[in-house]
Amino acid sequence: MVHVELFHDPATSTLTYVVYDPDSKDAVVIDSVLDYDPMSSTVSTASVEKVAAFLEKEGLRLHWALETHAHADHLTASPWLKKRFGGRTAIGAGIREVQAIFKTVFDMPPSFRTDGSQFDVLLEDGQVLEAGALRIETLSTPGHTPGCVSYLIGDVVFTGDALFIEDYGTGRCDFPRGSADTLYTSIHDKLYALPDETRVFVGHDYQPGGRPMRAETTIGRSKRENVHLRAETTRGDFVALRNARDATLAAPRLLWHSVQVNIDAGRLPAEHDNGVRYLRIPLNLRKPVDDDGARRDARTS
């Protein structure tokens, strides 16, 4: 049985996992976090250093830094891990669609590539990665974003933002090219097709009702109890519920900060001539305004 060590980032409710074989010392990291403080606009490595300390303490060999998708709520620390421990980066092949969308949103330069080549490997549905003694099967699970994947390793599946703990439900689908209908297929037809005893490790836990943090459930429990999508939930009911809930949600606090970094495989923006790095933050993206801040007339917007 593979071993799973989890790391919780309270600032973003993100769960990072080190998955490893204790005999061979082979390991992968899933969904790492580079800390970012939006008030001071500074990054730091406190969270990922905890992961590094565990890798070193256990004498683990890092083969892959894996992403379930281009996160909209935290920056990835994959480049830091790769520089420190070696290994390679991988993400679902759907990242190319996400890159194309956000290249326009952020008005990124023509040199920004939308072919996914910033990552070492782009993963297709069913593709298997080898990490020494570990065998990692890619499950394409879009809906939250077009590029989401889950990772099946032994009897464990890491679902990212597709499927959460049963009392919180499923991931939102209101990002560009997100789709509640697609997410239904990903969960109901693919994840729920796994054996009921399959352990599920989720990408976030928002601790509804203030309960203690939980990272793990099972496919069987999700099928019985998930508040958004149970085994018997119809596609129409889920899509209606998901779309109605999404209409009430605010944008993630670090949406604009994180996406532009994560679609570039976690590379921070290049330094300008003054030695400073700058993020691009769109202003009034959906409701354009004039120079004075007044909303632009709809006829000219």
This prediction's pTM = 0.96
Q: Residue 299 — very low, low, confident or very high, per pLDDT cuts 50/70/90?
A: very low
pLDDT beyond 80 at 245: yes
CA dist list (Å): 158 to 109, 203, 207, 244: 34, 7, 18, 26
Q: What is the second-level CATH architecture of the domain 3-262? A: 4-Layer Sandwich (3.60)
Longest dimension (CA), the chain: 67
Tokens of 300: 């000219």
**DSSP symbols for 214-253:** --EEEHHHHHHH-SS--TT--HHHHHHHHHHHHTTPPPPT
pLDDT digits 0-9 by tens, 63-118: 999 999 999 999 999 999 999 999 999 999 999 999 999 999 999 999 999 999 99
